[in-house]
Amino acid sequence: MVTLALTRNSTASQVIQELRSVSPTIVTPTLVPCAVAPAFQVLEALEADATGNQVLNTDAVASVPAILNAENPGVYAGLHGLTLEVSVNNGATQTFTFSDPTAANLSASQVKDQINAASPSGFAAYVLTKNSSTYLQLRSTGAGSGQLLKVLTGTANVSTKSTRG
């Protein structure tokens, strides 16, 4: 308690301070914890069916594109005039002929650019970087279990040899 006493026509003032001990009041926060993460929804991979058996949770299945990665990293030598043949979902064969007239060899990025410049149908080419090496990657534009991406018998297959992504 603080008391301030003033007297009339006086320049003096008096301040009195009184100390007392008070028990603190403990307050429990009422905010609900909030976890922030880039996940849309986290689901268990397995769930129990009506009989109690563990089965695959169909809501937890991710729908992804078909992916093929080149087995060999770029730079790709001797591709001038060679062809890459690709089929998407057992559709028509799409043929891509590479151009390297100076025989300077083609990087994975240059091969990607040449494939994408030809407007492939149902897939696109990308560059995958792994341990400072770059690889050609083919990826279907559709996603799901029905997607199929095949490299057929083109003449460039030995240079760009593909593996499943």
Cα–Cα distance, 65 to 71 (Å, whole number):
19
What is the reported pLDDT for 165?
47
Phi, psi of 85, deg, nearest 5: -110, 130
What is the reported pLDDT for 114?
95
pTM (predicted TM-score): 0.63
Q: What is the CA radius of gyration of the chain?
A: 35
**Cα dihedral sign, 118-119-121-124:** positive
Query: Token pair 């996603």 is at which residue?
Result: 143
Averaged pLDDT in 10-residue chunks for the chain of 165 residues? 52 69 78 69 83 86 87 87 93 94 89 95 95 93 89 76 48
Cα–Cα distance, 19 to 36 (Å, whole number):
46
What is the reported pLDDT for 82?
92
What is the reported pLDDT for 77?
87
For residue 70, give the nearest of 98, 112, 35, 18 by alpha carbon. 112
What is the reported pLDDT for 92?
95
